[in-house]
A and B are shown apart, each in its own frame.
Chain A
Amino acid sequence: GQQVMQIPQYQHVQEGEDFTTYCNSSTTLSNIQWYKQRPGGHPVFLIQLVKSGEVKKQKRLTFQFGEAKKNSSLHITATQTTDVGTYFCAGLSNTGKLIFGQGTTLQVKP
């Protein structure tokens, strides 16, 4: 079946360092969405990318959607302790299902 693979599973960084998580789909996606889940919380929507090659920025966060619409990345510049949590990508398949990656858990050491 359709899968969305996300790496790495865990990332520990020192505050101020950059962080990147990557998503790869086995099939072409209609769109890709990114969510953040804080410990003990629920996923919160961050952004949606629709166009091939699209790049969007939210302050220190940069999101990219690959040219083939099969991969995506989230890059955080100069991490802060408030960035701690699990980041999920979710790809919308051509069957209308939203398929979540396994998530990348980010720990930031102050």
Chain B
Amino acid sequence: KAGVTQTPRYLIKTRGQQVTLSCSPISGHRSVSWYQQTPGQGLQFLFEYFSETQRNKGNFPGRFSGRQFSNSRSEMNVSTLELGDSALYLCASSSSGTGGLNEQYFGPGTRLTVT
């Protein structure tokens, strides 16, 4: 099976702009989670989608949003970018059903730099 893919891999944006990141999960996986990874804060959970519904949400401002499509592909959007949004954004898919999250399969990430 193909792994989790994320596009783009690298992105440079200016403060105030918005950005959309894309994630394609492993075939058959219905759960997609997003994480922000920074050297200072580690891996921070953003949100999880399951069957097109946001099942859980982390403690991030409303500028961070996401969605999931019927084919389980997911996008996350960050509006009004701030310098502190520079990070590696990781997407992870899971075969989890309604019982909770099982092992996560991570994609290679999108490296976002905000200048």
Contact A98 B42 (CB under 8 A): no
B26 to chain A, nearest CB (A): 12
Q: How many residues of A contact B (CB 8 A)?
A: 23
**Residues in A whose Cβ lies below 8 Å from that of B15:** none
B106 at interface by CB-CB < 8 Å = yes
Return the CB mask of A37-61 against B: 1 if under 8 Å, else 0: 0000111110010000000000000
Q: How many residues of B contact A (CB 8 A)?
A: 23
Q: Within the complex, which residue of A45, A97, A99, A102 is in contact with B105, where a contact is CB–CB below 8 Å?
A: A45
B10 to chain A, nearest CB (A): 13
Contact B43 A100 (CB under 8 A): yes
B33 at interface by CB-CB < 8 Å = yes
Return the CB mask of B23-35 against A: 1 if under 8 Å, else 0: 0000000000101
A residues lining the B interface (CB < 8 Å):
1, 30-31, 33, 35, 41-45, 48, 88, 90, 92, 95-103
8 closest Cβ contacts across the A-B interface? Answer: A100-B43, A45-B103, A42-B106, A102-B42, A43-B106, A96-B56, A98-B101, A97-B56
